[in-house]
Each structure stands twice: as structure tokens, then as C-alpha cells.
Amino acid sequence: MIQCKTSKEIGGMGHSIKRKEDARFIQGKGHYVDDIQLPGMLHMDIVRSPYAYAKIKSINAEAALKIPGVIAVVTGKDLEKYNLHWMPTLMSDTQMVLPTDTVMYQAQEVAAVIATDRYAARDGKEAVMVEYEPMKPVIDPHKSLDPNAPVLRTDKPGKTDNHIWHWEVGDKEATEKVFAGADVVVKEQMHIPRIHVASIETCGCVADYDKVNNHLTMYMTTQAPHAIRTVIALVAGHVGLTEEKVRVISPDIGGGFGGKVPVYPGYVIAIAVSFLVGKPVKWVEDRSENLQADSFARDYHITAEMAGTKDGKILATRFKVLADHGYTDASANPSKFPTGLFSIGTGSYDYGTAFMEADAVYTNKPPGGVAYRCSFRVTEAVHAIERMTDRFAFEVGKDPAQLRMENFIKKDQFPWKSPTGWEYDSGDYHAGLQKAMDAIDYDGLRKEQAEKRKRGELMGIGISTFTEIVGAGPSKDFDILGIKMFDSAEIRVHPTGKAIARFGTKSQGQGHETTYAQIIAEELGIPAEHIQIEEGDTDTAPYGLGTYASRSTPTAGAAAAVAARKLRDKARKIAAYLLEVSEEDLEWEPGKFSVKGAPEKSKTIQEIVFAAYTNHPQGMEAGFEATHYYDPPNLTFPSGAYICVVDLDKETGEIKVRRFVAIDDCGHIINPMIVQGQVHGGLTQGLAPAMYESLIYDEDGNILNGTFMDYLVPTAVESPSWETGHTVTPSPHHPIGAKGVGESPTVGAPPAIVNAIVDALSHLGVTHIDIPVTPFKVWKILKEKGVA
Amino acid sequence: MKKEITVTINGEKHTATVEPRTLLVHLIREHLRLTGTHIGCDTSNCGACTILVNGKSIKSCTMLAIQADGKEIITVEGLATTEGLHPIQEGFKENHGLHCGYCTPGMMMRAVELLADNPNPTEEEIRWGISGNLCRCTGYNNIVKAIQYAGAKMRGETLPSTEPEFV
């Protein structure tokens, strides 16, 4: 049971208050980018390449320009005149806005058609004639480094191969030594395939440049509006678009999941065109463009090894990654982390030796490397460690739950230094797994499985006990393009004691308008319902790096608490003045200060705030507002224990997820209803790559499932009825002890599901199946083993 | 080439002149400025654009505006009345049946017809009933609860608890 310090009326932390933002969404009054219509607005559509790798021989816009309503066709050559045909990526690589001579992946932007309405723009797109000279693309990342593979990035002077970077962490020699002397070594090759966030709202913008005022308002689907504004100012300052002349507005966003962090060519072209013609330009991609061209996630080929003793003690792990980045490295990672936070991959286990390395390569596929509801490559790491833990348990003949219990870092070992350099803040992994096992009746399931196996029925139980790493991040190590990854809150309390608070983050459905209000309510005792939250407008919100990687609660949520505490300090001074006592004689309870030993002498926060405007002490600054930029001292480390039960159909390979219990630990819980909702959603987004989703390319680089007809987003039928619960291990360094939760389930669910499926087949000698585990893959195995 | 059509939307008659190829969803969103109906795909899979046409849930990206000539349309903007929210809206709000809100209007319009056809559906019937509508945020648990809540409300029964079972 979650204990609340505030009354229901105040609605501070721990209350499942209903979401404030829902009132507009349920009435169809949400305000998304495509809902914006400005006077004189033009529409942009984009001509895209049918080839994965080709020279552009010519672009003929003559027929397009004859279509009524079409006013311009913009090509790379046009942008080249303004030096806008290339742009930097977040990882210090470069990306074409529009090509001048070569296309590097199928569906790449080739030209933009500007027209007076959506339909004319589409007609124009169909009429643009592009002549290509196709070339043999590099699709398989394993062949990308072959000596005879064509060098793709000929734009980079001196580049002689398709290698992007090499990264490593841990102690290579010590790891080799442990592996050489270990009783047991297990090894698997695994591919975490390319997937797509597929938020139901695609990406888009309205670029509105006002020539007279030399001012750009950019409405866009971005998770990080401030960073975007700074980038625009840095890139376009020389043509007069300095930072105060740029306003980025991120209105309601229809799901982000990391896919709305990068800058896509469409945004840049829309700005350029609006700048040139002085009219607003709308670009909204359609679903197929979104799937085929926007940032992918994952695509890591991992060789994973674990060494241990024959009685089941994990001693060391070694992961080697081949990362397929497409034609440029446009990953959305903090600058110093080319593999994101993959180095969390030693997981929840107490051992001291590990080595990880990765090599990234170019191929003729779209760029990306975004999150898909994941904190910078944590999902890949968790998949590897949780699969290998099961693999190791199988090898030594131990129950995987038992083996985990024996290897967990114990709760008194925190803060725990991981062999790859992280300091885990807190955790109680034993409690989480025990709770999950009790909830699902683990022992009963194992008995049932044994009986079913005797009858030839296929049932599996899979566990995942993961450690997440979120809340990027401490300014010592974390920045994006040099901007430190703090975040901010500004609270302004009106004379009557109602407040508005603004943040540098941007909700895409996470419920910030409710949970931030609850944090402030907790600290100040002002009812959450009277605290209005605003985000997403760079003209009004304090600077911050945005919402992704489960960072909002760890950073901006902390900022809210600290800013509110500054105000509480001021309130104490005012209360002391009003009650004519010293500050030390006052005690706080949510909503009021009272005199110690004389509780009848008190001042409510509302009375105090009113006095701040009407009767403040001489010498004190009037008003009641505070701002805080929070630089976290460490990341936070949420965890979870998930158990999945599957039944497999022996004849068809069909996989039924019968039960799935998820116990999450995200520290102190702000709103249980919202946390649970985040867990539900994240679990379905974990089920998706585990069983359904992957972007598939043929050897010519054609995408084979680039629409919602064949890219299988789970429906309510595929998605099981999730069973959820929690444990609470507060973060010791976070002002309210919270850790972040949005991504945990997406990170933790896939290995639980795969471990269950492999467990159902383990007696047949199956040790690994790559995701997505489809009925066809299972059926093929059953056929091979003579079972189907 | 353009054709004049008349549709009744949320009880109001509207006349519009449209190209024969104009999609109904564009008529609703761009000509009539009812932007609560959303677009999420180009293959009729996601259901974000679901509305009611003569009482039937229809994906409005898959119907031409001229096919709606003379028809009665209800969109999300037509659910609430001066008396208050429609039970399905209340169900979504009370049960945390939405996160980003983008699929929500379509999901609710589909649920309205589902409950009209089957006033007391089982969980499985609800899940199959909304399988033409994709939600990327919620994992569907609470959408199911929201529809069950609306069903109970419309049947005049005691409302199920809206407290999260998150222990």
C-alpha cells in the first residue's frame, strides 16, 4: 500500500488522481501539429527514392510545375546554394537534407513539392520525373567491412571503408582470463532487429516564417523543443535567424518513444521554403514514409558470452556488437556515448568482470538509432544479459529463478559499482523476484510444466530481472551537442495561491500535466488541481533537454521538487513574519506552517502566498516564484522482475502468452494509476519486438514491410491482459526518491517472453531464438525436431 | 469536376464542394475544421480516423466524401452534450484509457458502436471489437476497462472500481 503524506484534496504523491490533460483529449480538443491551419499555408510533399543506392542522373519538375496549385519543386541543388543540403546529426556525423547526386537508402528524400493544398502537393510528387542509375547496395552489415564492399560515404574525404567507430568498456584481459579458467562458458549469437517506434501520430511540422518581423515560429512534433531552437539558431544565425527570432512550439504530441527526438530532412526543408517564400509551410509525413524513412531503433548483432562456475555462479560476461547504423550515424544518444548506455549490460548480478565492445558500420538503410521507448540501447543490453542468464542456468542445470536469486546484487551492496563503471543507486532484486514468483505461483507452474511435458504439451516459463539506467544525466558526462543534460522547472504562484509551472521537458502522453502538479502539491500543499503545467513553448518554458529515455521524472521532476522547496523556504520566512515568531519555531505540514506547541497559530500556504504580494516583509523580494535547473548527481536505476507463461501449439507453432506478471520498482511513486498505465503500455511495446515487429529488407535494400498492412503493431487481441505490481526502493540521491518508469517494461519484457518460449522448447535442445519469435520460426524448429 | 454534397455532422447540416477524390477524413478535418478525428496511417489499419456514419463505425480515411452525401455523421466532437460527457468519454477518463490521446477519438467512436451492438461484451469480445484500432501507448488493459465502465454506465448498473490494481 502506498502511503500518502498529503490529503486527497491536495493530491500530492501517491494519489491516483485522474489526469488533468484528459479533458481535452476525450473531447477531440487535443491540438496536434496536423490540426494547425494558418492563413496562406502551403503544403509540402516529398519525392522519395525507389532505390537503396543510386546516382541521380536528372530531376525533371516540368510536368509537376504545370499542375494547378503546385508552386515549386525544391531539390538538393537548390538547397546547395544556401549550403543547406547537408546537416549535422546528433552524433557528429552528417546527413543529407536533399541529395545533389546520390541516394543512399530506399525512401530517402529526393525533392520537395510545394503546393497550395495537400492533394496538389501529392499530384506534384507523382509528376516529378527522376532518372536514377542504380548501384549495388550494401545491405548486410556483416559484409559492410568486406574489402570489396563499395565505400558508401564518398562525401567524406579520405574514407576508405564503411567503419564508423569502435567502442569498448571493461577489462578485456581480466575477462579473457576469467573465461579461460571458467568451468562453464556459454555463447549465443543474437540479433536485436531493426524496429520502428510507429507512434500513431507521424512526424510533421508547420514552419511559419514572418519576413517582416524576421521571425520563425516552428510548430513541430519534437520531444526536445529547446534543443531544436538552439540548433536552428546555430545553423541559421548567419541568415538572421538568431535564437530570439526563433520560437519552437511542440503542441500535443501523439506518441514519441524516441522517434521525435531527431531532426528529419522534412523539417529543414519546410523551414527553408518558408524562409524563402515568406509563407507558412506544412509538412506531415504519411505512415508509410514514417516507417520507411524515419529513424529506426535497435539493429544490434550481438555475440554474447557468459562464464561461470558449474554450481551456477556468474563470473564474467563478454559482449561483442556489430551495429548497423544505415548510411549515417544519426543516433539519438548523449554525445559521449556512441552505444548509448549499452554498458548497463552486466545487469542485476553480482560479478566483477566484464568486457563489451562494439563496431558500427554504414549500410544502405535509413539512418536512426533512436530509443523505441528505451533509454539509449538499454534494451539491447538487457536482452543479452537476461537471455544469457537463462542460457547459463540451463547449462548448469539450475532453475533460472534460483540461479538469479543466488547471483543478484544484495540490497545492502548498494550503491554498487558495476564492472563497466556505473554506480547503481539502490535496488532490492530479491524482493521483486519473490513478489513476482508469489503472484504467478512459480512453483505451481513448474509442476504443471513437468506434467505437461510428460504428455508432450509445450509450456514455458520465462523470467527477466532487469536493471534499467535512466535520468540522463549528470553534466560531467552527459550532453547533447555540448548542451548539458540538466532539466528545469519554473513555478509561479499567483496571489490567490494557485500556480502555473513550466518545464523544459515535453510530454507525449506520459501525463506530465498531472504528475508534475502532484510533485509541487506534495512540496507546497497547493492542491494539484490548482497547479497548471505548461511545456513545449520555447518562448515561455525554461530551458531543458526534453523528454525521452525516462528522464523527465529524474530530471525535471527533481527540478520541480527543488524549486518548490525554495518556495517553501520563502514561505517559512513570510509565515514567521506574519506569526511574529522565529523561523525555527515553525513546523510544516502539507499546506501550512504552524507554531511548534501552538498548532492553533498557523498560516496556510494560500495566506502566505497572498502576503507575498500584499504584505511581504520589508527587504524581502515580493512575489512568489522560483526556478531550478537540476543537474542530477547520478543516473537512477529502476528495476523489475517479470515472469511470462507461454503455451505453444505443437502443430502450428502458435504462441499464446497465457500470463505475464510484471513487478516494477521505480522508487517512490508519484501517481500509481499513471505508473501502472506506463507499465501496461511499455509491456505491449515489449511484446511487439519479441513476437511481431521487425523492419525487413531484401538484398537490394527494398523494405518488405513498410506499411501498417505488414508491419505488425500489436492490437488488443495480441496484447495479453497484463498483471502488474510494484516494490518501492527509493533512489537515495533523487529529491523525491523517484526513478522513472516509462521504458522499464519495454526493456524488460522481450527477454521474459523469449526465455519462456525457449524454456518451452529447451528439452528439445533449443537454446536461443532470435526475436521476433514468430509461429513460423517455432513451427520450423518443431518440424526439425520431429515434433510438429 | 467538383461536386456539392450535404452531410449532417453532429446534428448540423453542412454543404461542401469537394473533388470526387476527397477523402471523408479530409472533408471533416480540413473543410469543416473538426480536428478531433485523426489520421494515423495510409492503409486503413490504425483506426485513428474512426467516426460513425449512419450509426456504423467507419474509417473515414477509407471513404470518399461524396459517398457520405446525405448521411448522418457523428465525430468525437458530437459525443458530449450540454448534459455532460458521453459514458465512453467518462470511461476513458476515469480508467486512464488514454495516454497521448491520438488514437482516443477513433477508439471511442469504435467503442460506441461496439456497445450499441453488444451492450454487455466480454473482455474477449471487447478486444476483438477494437482490433481494428491501434493504440501505441496504453497496452489496451485500461481501454478494455474504459469500455466495460461505459457499458455498465449505459446499462444503468453499479460502476466498476476505477482504482488501479497496482499493488
pLDDT tens for A617-671 read 999 999 999 999 999 999 999 999 999 999 999 999 999 999 999 999 999 999 9
**Three-state secondary-structure class, residue B37:** coil
List chain A residues with CB under 8 Å of B21: 119
Query: Do the chains contact at A28 and B165, CB–CB below 8 Å?
Result: no
The answer to whether residue B164 sits within a structural domain is no
**Three-state secondary-structure class, residue A84:** coil
> Is 90 exceeded by the pLDDT of residue B1?
no
Three cell numbers, residue A394: 540451463
Give yes or no: residues B47 and B113 share one domain: no
Of A34, A509, A724, the CB nearest to B101: A509
Question: Is A707 near chain B, with CB under 8 Å?
Answer: yes
d(CA A543, CA B40): 31
* Architecture (CATH level 2) of domain A297-472+634-784: 2-Layer Sandwich (3.30)
Calculate the alpha carbon distances from B44 to A63, A323, A562 in Å: 30, 34, 47
The percent of residues in chain A predicted with pLDDT above 90, rounded, is 98
List chain B residues with CB under 8 Å of A665: none
Q: How is residue A244 annotated by DSSP?
A: G
What amino acid is encoded at A203 in this protein? C
d(CA A487, CA A555): 5
User: What does the mean pLDDT of chain A come to?
Assistant: 97
Backbone angles phi, psi at A276, to 5 degrees: -80, -40
Query: Do the chains contact at A24 and B166, CB–CB below 8 Å?
Result: no
What amino acid is encoded at A444 in this protein? G
Q: Which residue of B has its CA nearest to A671?
A: B164
The answer to whether residue B160 sits within a structural domain is no
Backbone angles phi, psi at A610, to 5 degrees: -60, -40
Over residues A663-716, the pLDDT tens digits come to 999 999 999 999 999 999 999 999 999 999 999 999 999 999 999 999 999 999
Last residue of a domain, one of B78, B112, B144: B78
Give yes or no: residues B92 and B143 share one domain: yes
Question: Is A414 near chain B, with CB under 8 Å?
Answer: no
Of B39, B93, B131, the CB nearest to A34: B39
Q: Give the pLDDT score at A239.
A: 84
Give yes or no: residues B99 and B52 share one domain: no
List chain B residues with CB under 8 Å of A685: 136, 139
Question: Is A180 near chain B, with CB under 8 Å?
Answer: no
Task: Considering only CA atoms, give the Rg of chain B.
Answer: 16
Q: How far is B139 from chain A (nearest CA, A)?
A: 4
**Three-state secondary-structure class, residue A184:** strand
Task: Calculate mean pLDDT across residues A535-553.
Answer: 96
CATH 3.40.50.720 fits A22-30+487-630, yes or no: no
What amino acid is encoded at A691 in this protein? M
Q: Give the pLDDT score at A453.
A: 97
Question: Is A37 near chain B, with CB under 8 Å?
Answer: yes
CATH 3.30.365.10 residue spans of chain A = 22-30+487-630, 297-472+634-784
Query: Do the chains contact at A680 and B140, CB–CB below 8 Å?
Result: yes
Over residues B105-158, the pLDDT tens digits come to 999 999 999 999 999 999 999 999 999 999 999 999 999 999 999 999 999 999
Question: Is A438 near chain B, with CB under 8 Å?
Answer: no
CA geometry: angle A62, A68, A72, nearest 5 deg: 50
Question: Is A223 near chain B, with CB under 8 Å?
Answer: no
Q: What number of other Cβ atoms are within 10 A of residue A1's Cβ?
A: 5
Q: What number of other Cβ atoms are within 10 A of residue A80's Cβ?
A: 14
How would DSSP label each residue in A438-466? HHHTHHHHHHHHHHHHHTT-EEEEEEEEE
The answer to whether residue B40 sits within a structural domain is yes
Of A410 and B165, the one with more pLDDT: A410
Per annotation, catalytic residue among A95, A106, A108, A223: A223
CATH 3.90.1170.50 residue spans of chain A = 33-137+203-284
Backbone angles phi, psi at A188, to 5 degrees: -140, 150
The answer to whether residue B167 sits within a structural domain is no
List chain B residues with CB under 8 Å of A683: 139
Q: Which residue of A has its CA nearest to B81?
A: A27
Q: Which stretches does DSSP call E strand in A362-457?
A: 416-417, 423-424
Of A286, A713, A717, the CB nearest to B136: A713
The answer to whether residue B162 sits within a structural domain is no
Question: Is A786 near chain B, with CB under 8 Å?
Answer: no
CA B163 to chain centre: 25
Give yes or no: residues B97 and B72 share one domain: no
Over residues A34-53, the pLDDT tens digits come to 999 999 999 999 999 999 99
The answer to whether residue B47 sits within a structural domain is yes
CA geometry: angle A772, A660, A197, nearest 5 deg: 40
CA geometry: angle B135, B138, B140, nearest 5 deg: 75
Q: Which residue of A has its CA nearest to B164?
A: A673
The percent of residues in chain A predicted with pLDDT above 70, rounded, is 100
Question: Is A431 near chain B, with CB under 8 Å?
Answer: no
Question: Is A432 near chain B, with CB under 8 Å?
Answer: no
Q: Which residue of B has its CA nearest to A680?
A: B139
Give yes or no: residues B11 and B71 share one domain: yes
Are the C-beta atoms of residues A105 and A45 closer than 8 Å to each other? no
Are the C-beta atoms of residues B96 and A674 closer than 8 Å to each other? yes
Query: Do the chains contact at A708 and B92, CB–CB below 8 Å?
Result: no
Query: Do the chains contact at A716 and B126, CB–CB below 8 Å?
Result: yes
> Is 80 exceeded by the pLDDT of residue A781?
yes
Task: Calculate mean pLDDT across residues A248-261.
Answer: 97
Query: Do the chains contact at B96 and A19, CB–CB below 8 Å?
Result: yes
Residue A223 is among the residues annotated as catalytic for this protein: yes
Rounded to the nearest 10°, the torsion over CA A251, A252, A257, A263 is: -20
Task: Calculate mean pLDDT across residues A442-465.
Answer: 98
Q: Is A336 exposed, middle or buried (0-12, 13-18, 19+ CB in 10 A)?
A: exposed
Query: Do the chains contact at A508 and B100, CB–CB below 8 Å?
Result: yes
Of B26, B33, B131, the CB nearest to A715: B131
How would DSSP label each residue in A100-164? SSEE-STT-EEEEEEESSHHHHHHHHHH-EEEEEE------GGGTTSTTSPPS-TTSTT--SSEE
What amino acid is encoded at B84 in this protein? G
Give yes or no: residues B54 and B109 share one domain: no
Last residue of a domain, one of B27, B52, B78: B78
Identify the band that residue B165 occupies on the pLDDT scale cut at 50, 70 and 90: confident
**Three-state secondary-structure class, residue B59:** strand
> Is 80 exceeded by the pLDDT of residue A272?
yes
Q: How many CB pairs under 8 A join A and B?
A: 202
Give yes or no: residues B42 and B97 share one domain: no
Strand partners, B7: B14
Q: What order of strands is seen across the sheet that includes strand A625-630?
A: A531-535, A499-503, A487-493, A625-630
Q: How is residue B66 annotated by DSSP?
A: G
List chain B residues with CB under 8 Å of A197: 136
Identify the band that residue A777 occupies on the pLDDT scale cut at 50, 70 and 90: very high
Q: Which residue of A has its CA nearest to B85?
A: A27
Residue A584 is among the residues annotated as catalytic for this protein: no
Query: Do the chains contact at A681 and B138, CB–CB below 8 Å?
Result: yes
Q: Give the pLDDT score at A258.
A: 96
What CATH number should be reported for the domain holding residue B131?
A: 1.10.150.120
Query: Do the chains contact at B43 and A708, CB–CB below 8 Å?
Result: yes
Determine the structural domain holding residue B36 and report its residue range. 3-78
- In chain B, how many domains are there? 2
Nearest CA to B75 out of B104, B46, B101, B36 is that of: B36
CA A729 to chain centre: 23
d(CA A233, CA A230): 5
Three cell numbers, residue B150: 461505459
Q: Give the pLDDT score at A481.
A: 87
Q: Which of B61, B85, B102 to mutate to test the interface with A (most CBs of A within 10 A)?
A: B102
Per annotation, catalytic residue among A373, A377, A387, A391: A373
Q: Which CATH number fits domain A33-137+203-284: 3.50.50.60, 3.30.43.10, 3.90.1170.50, 1.10.150.170?
A: 3.90.1170.50
Over residues A416-429, the pLDDT tens digits come to 999 999 999 999 99
What CATH number should be reported for the domain holding residue B19?
A: 3.10.20.30
| Cis amide linkage into residue B87, ω under 30° from 0 | no
SS3 for A276-319 is HHCCCEEEECCHHHHHHHCCCEEEEEEEEEEEECCCCCEEEEEE
Last residue of a domain, one of B78, B95, B111: B78
The answer to whether residue B107 sits within a structural domain is yes
Over residues A713-760, the pLDDT tens digits come to 999 999 999 999 999 999 999 999 999 999 999 999 999 999 999 999
d(CA A214, CA A506): 27
d(CA A85, CA A100): 8
Q: Which residue of A has its CA nearest to B125?
A: A717
What amino acid is encoded at B159 in this protein? L
Task: Calculate mean pLDDT across residues B23-39.
Answer: 97
Question: Is A116 near chain B, with CB under 8 Å?
Answer: no
Q: How far is B4 from chain A (nearest CA, A)?
A: 18
Query: Do the chains contact at A713 and B123, CB–CB below 8 Å?
Result: no
Q: How far is B70 from chain A (nearest CA, A)?
A: 24
What amino acid is encoded at A387 in this protein? R
List chain A residues with CB under 8 Å of B48: 200
d(CA A434, CA A441): 10
Q: Which residue of B has its CA nearest to A721?
A: B141
How would DSSP label each residue in B72-106? EEE-GGGT-BTTB--HHHHHHHHTT--SSSSSHHH
Give per-residue burial for A280-296: e unless 16+ CB within 10 Å, then b: bbbbbbbbbbbbbbbbb
Q: Give the pLDDT score at A492.
A: 98
Nearest CA to A645 out of A630, A660, A655 is that of: A660
Give yes or no: residues B125 and B73 share one domain: no
CA A501 to chain centre: 24
Backbone angles phi, psi at A523, to 5 degrees: -80, -30
Query: Do the chains contact at A199 and B103, CB–CB below 8 Å?
Result: no
Give yes or no: residues B57 and B111 share one domain: no
Q: Which residue of B has its CA nearest to A24?
A: B101
Query: Do the chains contact at B38 and A288, CB–CB below 8 Å?
Result: no
Are the C-beta atoms of residues A667 and A748 closer than 8 Å to each other? no
Query: Do the chains contact at B166 and A673, CB–CB below 8 Å?
Result: yes
Q: Give the pLDDT score at B128.
A: 98
Give yes or no: residues B99 and B36 share one domain: no
Q: Give the pLDDT score at A236.
A: 86
Are the C-beta atoms of residues A163 and A265 closer than 8 Å to each other? no
Give yes or no: residues B67 and B118 share one domain: no
Who contacts A146 (Cβ-Cβ below 8 Å, separation ≥6)? none
